[in-house]
């Protein structure tokens, strides 16, 4: 069974910034497609990523993409994956939450 993919508002903002930073429209489209392909693959196997090290929670995972990491939350009960952020490898998602740049991680609720 495939999981449904959702993006948090914060992740959409980061995705837009990432794609727009790629230079010309052709490069942006190429990188945007590659990134979305990587995210879409999570629908078939959401457990493939490792636990995000700053949280140590089995539902909060990450997969690498180029020099970024895609941070996401798995909800097995509702068969969905929520993309939480796309960060540079060295960035800590917990620090972004503390700085109020990213939303706090309470229980997952589908909209």
CA distance linking residue 82 with residue 110, whole number of Å: 9
Q: Torsion angle of alpha carbons 55, 74, 9, 88, nearest 10°?
A: 50
At 67 the pLDDT is 80
Flag whether pLDDT at 84 surpasses 80.
yes
Domains along the sequence of the chain with CATH: 4-98 (3.30.2310.20)
Flag whether pLDDT at 16 surpasses 50.
yes
Query: pLDDT over 70 for what percent of the chain?
Result: 78
Which tokens in the block code for residue 1?
């069974």
Average confidence score pLDDT of the chain: 81
At 93 the pLDDT is 60
User: pLDDT of 32-76, one tens digit each?
Assistant: 888 889 999 999 999 999 998 888 888 999 999 888 889 999 999
Tracing tokens 């939450």 back to the chain, one arrives at 97
């Amino acid at each position: 069974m495939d999981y449904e993919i959702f993006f948090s508002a914060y992740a959409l903002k980061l995705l837009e910034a990432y794609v727009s930073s790629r230079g010309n429209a052709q490069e942006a489209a190429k990188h945007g497609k590659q990134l979305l392909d990587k995210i879409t693959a999570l629908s078939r196997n959401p457990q493939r990523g490792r636990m995000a090290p700053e949280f140590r929670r089995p539902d909060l995972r990450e997969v690498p993409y180029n020099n970024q990491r895609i941070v996401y939350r798995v909800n097995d009960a509702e068969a969905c994956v929520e993309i939480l952020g796309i960060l540079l490898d060295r960035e800590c998602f917990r620090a972004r939450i503390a700085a109020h740049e990213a939303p706090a991680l309470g229980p997952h609720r589908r909209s």
